[in-house]
Structure 1
Amino acid sequence: MQRTARGRGRREGGLIDGPESVTAIATAELCDRIIDGRLAMGAHVTEHALAAEIGVGRQSLREALRALESRRAIVHVPRAGSRVVQLTLQDAFQVTTVREQLEALAVQQGVPANGERFERLRTAMDAMERNARAGDETRAPHDGLQFHTALVNLAGNDHLNAAYAAIALPVAILMRLNRQAQAEAESLLERAARHRRVVDLVAEGHPDAVLAELRAHHTAAYLLGDHLSAHDASDDALAWAGRLGRVDRGSSPDGSAP
């Protein structure tokens, strides 16, 4: 898919040009592809082909890749180019525990909620329900990230928002893996209904009830699969995963049985 700058960009020689940063357009497109899996974990980024496909110059693409390195979504390998990050069990443990703490703090600070910040949460909820009715699985991780970002934004705390933005891409990757793990057990409409309950509880102004509902959501069902290597996992990460039967101390580095 080729992007334009919301009607303000133009194409010259097949490349995007215009007032909005071309690097920003390339970065947004790379984010979309990483979130929905078109750029899979560990995938090598072929700069020439990807730049042509998106419709940007290779220099803009390289700048976008550098931007995503700082967000821990892209890894630069000397003499081998760039690849999408390959999350490990340790990464999942750290990202998920930080995410849970940030969301809990946001709920404590931001509920009861009303006004513009609450409207953003409702807008995110409406998008999730709309895509669920359409049966659009590709939008599920995008919808999940948009919803939880809006939930964190309820607090109106810029530092909290920045902390959540720093882990947003690995959070979205884990959301995609989680959706894949739950797809047979839970429809998109059922998933949307879970999130609608959160919105209703926020509207009612009960932070403890919101937190209880969030804790009831299965956010780490992906641990029951073999998506994540356990080679660098700490004792805490292994214990966390072990509660779901994912790995034990007898597992091989890739998390499979010895």
Structure 2
Amino acid sequence: MWSTGALRAQLLTHLLDSGLAGPVATSREASLRSYRAFAARDPRVTIGLDPLGRWDERALLALMADRCGVSADPARVHGGDVIDPELTVRALDVFAERLAEAVGRRAPVLFGTGHPHRLLGFYADLADAVSAAGCPVLTPAQGRCVDITTRFGVRPLTLAYVRGVGLVRESEEAGEGAHSHSPLPVRVALQAAAEGGGPLPELVVGDHGWVCGAGQLGVEAIGLADTDDPALFVGAAEGQVSVAVPLDDGVPSDHYVPVTRYVLKRACLSP
């Protein structure tokens, strides 16, 4: 038997030791820059979300202080940012509850990440677990071209799935996935699922545009987000995103393994 209290205490220690929470690598400058861009409705930062309310910089800073634990002081403009590990664990508990609820009704689930170099293993292990529990893990639009607009022009990428997790690549032959904030991959996937007459996802699990793009279209979405990703937290505040978990999304991939174990234990998906 495992103790919930002991497991939680171990995770809190790991979050701080690994830099997933506590003082994180994301700079205060980067976070504030993202809040300014979101307030200006920059699509590179809204990443598929069309906010219902008016979010200026001050409102965003207050929200991120409440949901992540960053400093609420607008005069603090330099240095590293911070995530409250207690908020991370609380959000992970709700994340696990939503995953368990989907498993309980054998709901089709779609996984996707814009951070394949860091987070692929986290989502892939969750996909393996929900699949073993009887949930269909969907992979619509495999190999479909996704034209993503960047400041350098249109970047043609290919939608692929690795261990059931959606990502975009430079080509079908490319081994590694590309970093992306775009909501276009999940839009392409959802459109293909609808046009194919197959099951539609009842839950999307991921980050960046995968979560915001799905939530904006009315699909339940849960995911991870750093202090410079305000869109997921706005979506959660407005009810378009079910869960936004605050944690650093750029640490080495093996640092997420204890997080995976915690979620699977809390969702009753592991021994």
**Normalising by the residue count of structure 2, what TM-score does the alignment of the two structures yield?**
0.30
The structure having more radius of gyration, on CA atoms, is 1
| Greater relative contact order structure (CA < 8 Å, 6+ sep) | 2
